[in-house]
Structures are given as C-alpha cells and as structure tokens.
Amino acid sequence: MATGTPVSTRNQKLTKNEIRDAFAQEGAAQTPVILSPARLAALLGLSTKTIYEWISKGRLDGAFRKRGKHVLLWRDRALDIIYNGKEWSHA
C-alpha cells in the first residue's frame, strides 16, 4: 500500500456534483432520487431504525417529507447532510 495520501476523507467534503455523478454511472440508475427510509438505510449499510432515529433527532432536516405515515427522503440532500453536515455528538 502506498503511503503519503491519507485514505480517510473525513476532512474533505463531497461536492453536490460528486454526489449526483455517483448515481449517474451505469447501473447506479436503479437508486431513485426519492427514497424510503429502508432504501436509504440499505444504501448506507445501516438499519432502518437508525434512519428513523436520525429523522426524529432532526439530523436529516431538510432532506425528508412526511406524508401521513410515509416518510420520503431526497437521496442527494440526505447524503450531503450525512457526509458534509456538521458532526453529530453522541449525546
């Protein structure tokens, strides 16, 4: 493994174009722009419970809409918040 460039991108932000372009690739078109919490959880490798917890704590504000019992999330907005938003405390 080469040394020099760190593997972690924690301090590097993803641009909106990078997020959009990741889903413009062939085969990635199967991920719709509007997602259910279960679909977002699967995309991130998390549990659906985690997504609902983030919603209830306000961590995904601006990335979702509630319609009755249904929650719909904008894929790109949610990913922008998750990868580029402020750090979440464990409190």
C-alpha dist (Å) from residue 6 to 2, 41, 46: 10, 27, 25
CATH of domain 32-91: 1.10.10
DSSP element (H, E) containing 43: helix 37-44
Q: How many residues does the chain have?
A: 91
pLDDT digits (tens, 9 = 90+) for 43-83: 999 999 999 999 999 999 999 999 999 999 999 999 999 98
Q: Is the pLDDT of residue 27 over 70?
A: no
Query: Which amino acid belongs to residue 21?
Result: D
Boundaries of every domain in the chain: 32-91
User: Taking the complete model, does pTM exceed 0.75, yes or no?
Assistant: no
